[in-house]
Structure 1
Amino acid sequence: MAAGMKHVVYHYLGNSGLKVSNICLGSTVFGKHKAGRPGQCDEITAHSILDRFAEWGGNFIDTSDDYSNGEAEEIIGNWLAKKQRDRFIVTTKPCYMQDKSYSGVDNVGQYDPNTIGLSRKHLIRSVDESLRRLKTDYIDLYQIHVWDEGTPIEETIRTLDDLIKAGKIRYVGAGNVLGWQMQKIMMLCKSMGVNPWISLASQYSLLCRWPEWELLDVCRNEGVGVMAWSPLKGGWLTGKIKRDSSSPPEGSRIAFSEANPQIKQQSHPNYSKYSSDGKVFDLLDTMERIGQKHDKTISQVALRWLLQKDTVSAAIIGAKTLQQLDENMVASAGWELSEKQMSELDDASAVEVPYPYELVARANKSRRRFNNFI
């Protein structure tokens, strides 16, 4: 391990016995086929980032079968083939938004409606194709990418449990669901007598506090570990954009979003969304001031705030260079924000809580109990 590097901290993933690094390496930037988005990595660069992540002690890798049309899984698979597979926890997800023409579906005038969603047919095929691209015979954690209104959730739950019994996947998790949907999943797992789901991949950051209204309560009460994606809000929480900036940094994903307003980007909102919002820059000023007290960057403060939240098992980061990776990994261990600093950041990023969440929280202020399962 390089001089000065500290190993990451390992957390149990939710109420399971699985331990994962509190930094999870995301792979949305792996592969060259991402609709012209900047910062994509070729295989050589991606492998160097994976090597450095492992050197830091990272063991948690997140991907999906639709990242760069499956290329991200292939890149990770080629890397895993040269490593001790059991050392790493690999999570992937099935496609949910577009037809997967790359997976063998005839895309020359032929339409197959079963190439998206959470049906038994699609899930079984997706798992088999991911196993092939990842060059492995099991997936550690298989997560739905988003709730599917077209498939009864009971069908999805039963299929994923069958895949556990078949040895193709080992744990199941959710991604991008509403509070009632997460609660229904957990209750159905109990009533159906199947393996409980252990994780939720949710956007969560100092610029995305809404999961706290309901989703995080479900996760806390049901023993579900949160994997926070877009922890830096696509670059907004890095400090690269200043209060007096007239445009986003050239080549950034924020600049890409600004130039392509027709593409909805929750993970990296365009420049216009926050550029005139003084509260966002007040937050960045607070983060910078707190960071200076710890000799840390704004990005590191953003990640540290997340990692000190009781339901967060891991923050999912993306890195296109070794320098970016190293900066993010520094947030994982060896220092902490004080309780006062956490409160300052909470206050600086607070959003108005709507009814009925505000009323229920206020009425239960002295009644709440917490179950810290990590």
Structure 2
Amino acid sequence: MRLFGTGDTAHQTSASSMSYEHPSAPIPVVGPGIGETLRVPIGDTGIEVFPLILGAAEFGWNVDLETSHAILDRYVEFGGNAVHTADGFSGGRSEHIIGQWLRSRRQLRDVVLGVRVGSHADNPGLGATNLVRAVEGSLTRLGVERIDILYLDATLDQSTNLEDTLATAEWLRGAGKINVLGAFRFAPERLVEARILASAGYPRIEVLDEPYNLIRRDAFEGDLRLVAGAQNLAVTPSHALEHGFLSGRHRSKALISQGVRGEQLRERLNRRGIRILRALDQIATDLQAPVAAVSIAWLLAQRTIAAPIVNTFAMQHVEELMQGAGISLTRTQIAELTRAGN
């Protein structure tokens, strides 16, 4: 991410040059800057981020501007440095809110900014014209000159010629508008096609976002994970807490609110979902850590996972989420959680 008129992104010191030792216990939730030295590489891109990326899907929808800024401040205060949004989140309001936050805090030049494009109603899909318009729109709303990781969202567009999309991405990168290319909802075959095109000189897809968590596993575990591993893609899975279900806060169908989100949560309160929550409860008790943090720790223990994308509704939730990056689960604990979801 590069703010208008501020120059290049500040160099990030690699974790290997630090004397900091990764803790085996949860990150303390007392005092600022606890996680500033916790960084993981995003594949071979040279980008390093805190092991949890703050998602902004709720900004401008269920979370107002003031609360959104408080969440962002808290995340950075505890060492976070990566924010993820999309042109389709709240019709672009999420990007506006982040842009206002960036402009009001000029010192945050080293925030890694990931943006998913292709789902905005005005510029849907991954065709050349819409892709350029989508990136320009996101840059304007965010008030930045460059997007660090541009995720190509294939949800609405599985038919556009991938060669045309990558050629457009090549132009965008040459113009300094994007840095690294990522993919969202790409089938394994499409990733293989993209790698073949990359060998012919087109930009390489280096980051993959596929919804993945303890309860939503089928789409990723299989060919997609094999391809991601073979291509050394950095996987930054979204929906890390399954709309909040894996935080352990929603356990009664009667107490869950109405609407789309409520229906999603109620669907998870079945035998399998309750079995997973019980396994999380036991390990959370053993570790004296929040259930949400244990859910994040399980994700980080999975091969190919670099940093989950996690959305939150409240500032007080940020601290417990970030503890997940400081928990080292034993092999037995990982196996128990995995087995509970089978």
TM-score, normalised with respect to structure 2 = 0.86
Name the residue aligned to 2:42.
13
State the Cα distance separating 1:4 from its structure 2 match.
4.7
Paired letter, 1:257: V
**How much does 1:195 deviate?**
2.9
Paired residue for 1:329?
Answer: 322
Give CA deviations for 1:309-341 in whole Å, capped at 9, x if unaligned.
Answer: 1211111111121111111111122x3110111
Give the number of equivalent residue pairs: 310
AA of the residue aligned to 1:150? S
Following the alignment from structure 2 to structure 1, what is the Cα–Cα distance between the partners of residues 135 and 244?
Answer: 32
Match of 1:151 in 2: 160
Q: Which amino acid aligns with 1:324?
A: H
Query: Match of 2:330?
Result: 338
For 1:58 and 1:138, how far apart are their aligned partners in 2? 20
Conserved 8 A contact 2:118-2:125: yes
Aligned to 1:36: none
Q: What SS does the corresponding residue of 1:160 show, helix, strand or coil?
A: helix
* Residue 270 (structure 1) shift: 4.3
Distance 1:305 1:128, change over 3 A: same
Partner of 1:90: 113
Q: How does 1:195-206 map to 2 (within 5 A)?
A: 195-206=203-214
SS in 2 for 1:99: coil
In the alignment, is the contact (CA less than 8 A) between 2:39 and 2:48 conserved in 1?
A: yes
Cα shift at 1:179: 1.5
Q: 1:7 to 1:135 in 2, by over 3 A?
A: same
CA offset at residue 194 of structure 1? 2.5
Question: Is the contact made by 1:240 and 1:249 (CA closer than 8 Å) also made in structure 2?
Answer: no
**Which residues in structure 2 correspond to 1:252-331 (within 5 Å)?**
255-257=258-260, 269-271=264-266, 273-275=267-269, 277-331=270-324
Match of 2:79 among 57, 69, 78: 57
Gaps of 5+ in 2: 1-27
* 2:198 is the counterpart of 1:176: no
Among 113, 122, 144, the alignment partner of 1:136 is 144
Partner of 2:96: 74
Verify the 8 A CA contact 2:35 2:50 in the aligned structure 1. Answer: no
Tell me the secondary structure at the aligned position of residue 83 of structure 2: strand
Identify which range, 178-187 or 58-67, moves more after superposition: 178-187
Instruction: Indicate whether 1:187 and 2:190 are aligned.
Output: no
Give the deviation of 1:236 after TM superposition.
1.7
Could you tell me how far 1:258 is from its partner in structure 2?
6.8
Q: Is residue 147–residue 177 contact of structure 2 (8 Å, CA) maintained in 1?
A: yes
Write the distance in 2 (CA, Å) between the matches of 1:241 and 1:281. 10
Give the distance between the partners of 2:255 and 2:152, measured in 1 at CA. Answer: 33
Tell me the percent identity: 27
- How far apart are the structure 2 equivalents of 1:84 and 1:158? 34
| Matches of 1:130 and 1:278, distance apart in 2 | 42
Q: What do residues 18-75 of structure 1 show as CA deviations (whole Å, max 9, x unaligned)?
A: 111111011111114xxxxxxx111111111111111111111001111111111111
Instruction: State the AA in 1 paired with 2:254.
Output: S
* TM-score (normalizing by structure 1): 0.79
Q: How far is the alpha carbon of 1:149 from its aligned partner? A: 2.5
Corresponding residue of 1:43: 65
Report the CA distance between 1:274 and its aligned residue. Answer: 3.1
> CA separation in 2, counterparts of 1:326 and 1:129?
32
- Cα drift, residue 176 of structure 1: 1.1
Q: Is the 8 Å Cα contact of residues 40 and 48 (structure 2) preserved in structure 1? A: yes
Q: Deviations over 1:250-305 (max 9, x none)?
A: 3xxxx42277x6xxxxxxx241x233x32221221111111111001221111110
The residue that corresponds to 1:247 in the other structure is 254
Alpha-carbon deviations, 1:139-175, whole Å to 9, x = none? Answer: 1111111252331010001111111111010110000
Q: RMSD of the alignment, in Å?
A: 1.9
